[in-house]
Amino acid sequence: MNDEQRPSRMARWRAGALAGIVVLGLASIVGSGGGGCFAPGPCVGDFPNEPIAPVVTPTDVVVEVGGTATFSAIAQGIGNPSYQWLRAPKGGTLAPISGATASTYSLTGANLTDDGSTIAVDVAGSFEGKAVQRRSAGSTLAVSSMLPVVFQDREFAPADWAAAAIVEPLVGGPTHDEQQARTGGNPDAYRRVALSMPGGVSTLTAFSTYQSASYDPASQGAIYLIDFAQDCIALPGVLGVAPVLLVEQDGRRYAAAAGAGACTAVWGRQTLIRGTFDATQFIRIDGAACAAGASCPDFSAFGKPLKFGIVNFNQGVAGFAGASGGFGIDNWVVRVWRR
């Protein structure tokens, strides 16, 4: 390197270093506050004396071709609300839907061009005497070319379900007990899972798998989405429980990466857990690691047969005093959608 090149290279280094310092400096200012919310949309607490954005339920919907998808808006404290529903085709931008100005919106006669659409709502009204308008986050609509394959249970006969668990430590560790409770469900029989955690460090992963049927992609078709719902109730006790969808395939178990949160002390609509998942939204929790590049779980037409169920995870940390509790599930339903 000659003398002419050395200063030029040093100058470029300085310029790059200065640019990085400026970016880091600004980011560290903004990153030191913000209330801990990193969402691109409005967050609770953004404006304590203002309403937060309206909510559209459900957040994900799958229907068959020709079916009807219904969305509901929750105005979140906005007075005298008026609504304007919006729709964006897959990859497009939101545009108002003519005449869609009620608190609910139903898309009838869904077709494959509606697949991947985003549905949102603008809510205008008043809050503390001021006129406000807020937009909801988008809900996603998926359309399948055929009716789903449905797995459901409302009775939970012992022969229809298998229980298993991963327990640490094995000696003196957590315990679990699964059985059919004939009364006390929503409305009658339900599956009752009682759990107990000792004091100190321990983990309990409790599985319940529906045995009466399985889904075979090779013969029934590749899976597009899985639609899951159940009613849940927390049993007496202080142990927090939040059972999520379980998928078993080829000796491995996978848990849905998202659920609806913890069960509460009552049955009912507020404890209904619903989700719509594709293969990328599952986490392997038991079984051998998948081969590099393999799809796990495999929802393609080459995938092995799948069984479904529920899984709940509890963990005790150092200083934990121990607790018992559990949960019940009823009206369990899994819908397997194909393209």
Whole-angstrom distance, CA of residue 84 vs CA of residue 95: 10
Q: Mark 228-267 with x for binding to other proteins (rule: CB under 8 A) and - for no binding.
A: ----------------------------------------
Q: Indicate the SS3 state at residue 19.
A: helix
The residue among 15 and 257 lying less far from other proteins, judged by its C-beta, is 15
Among positions 127-156, residues that touch other proteins (CB under 8 A) are: 132-135
Task: Examine residue 112 and tell whether it contacts other proteins (CB under 8 A).
Answer: no
Neighbours of 238 (CB within 10 A): 11
Sign of CA dihedral 53, 58, 62, 64: negative
Residue 99: CB minimum distance to other proteins, A? 23
Told to check if 163 binds other proteins by CB under 8 A, we report no
Nearest alpha-carbon partner for 327 in 244, 227, 212, 252: 244
User: Does the bond joining 169 to the residue before it have cis omega, within 30 degrees of 0?
Assistant: yes
Determine the interface stretch with other proteins among 10-18, 243-251, 255-263, 285-293 (rule: CB under 8 A): 10-18
Minimum distance, C-beta of residue 30 to other proteins, in the bound complex (Å)? 5
Residues 6+ positions from 165 with CB-CB distance below 8 Å = 174, 176, 204, 205, 206, 207
Among 18, 112, 146, 262, binds other proteins (CB under 8 A): 18
Distance between CA atoms of residues 107 and 90, nearest Å: 15
Burial of 286 by CB count in 10 Å (0-12 exposed, 13-18 middle, 19+ buried)?
Answer: middle
Q: Distance (Å, rounded) from C-alpha 21 to C-alpha 44?
A: 32
Q: Which stretch binds other proteins (CB under 8 A): 16-24, 137-145, 223-231, 256-264?
A: 16-24
Site membership for other proteins, residue 45 (CB under 8 A): yes
From residue 25 to residue 44, the character string flagging contacts with other proteins as x (rule: CB under 8 A) and all else as - is xxxxxxxxxxxxxx-xxxx-
Q: Does 21 bind other proteins (CB under 8 A)?
A: yes
- Is residue 274 near other proteins by the rule CB under 8 A? no
Write out the residues near other proteins by the rule CB under 8 A.
7, 14, 17-18, 21, 24-38, 40-43, 45-47, 50, 53, 132-135
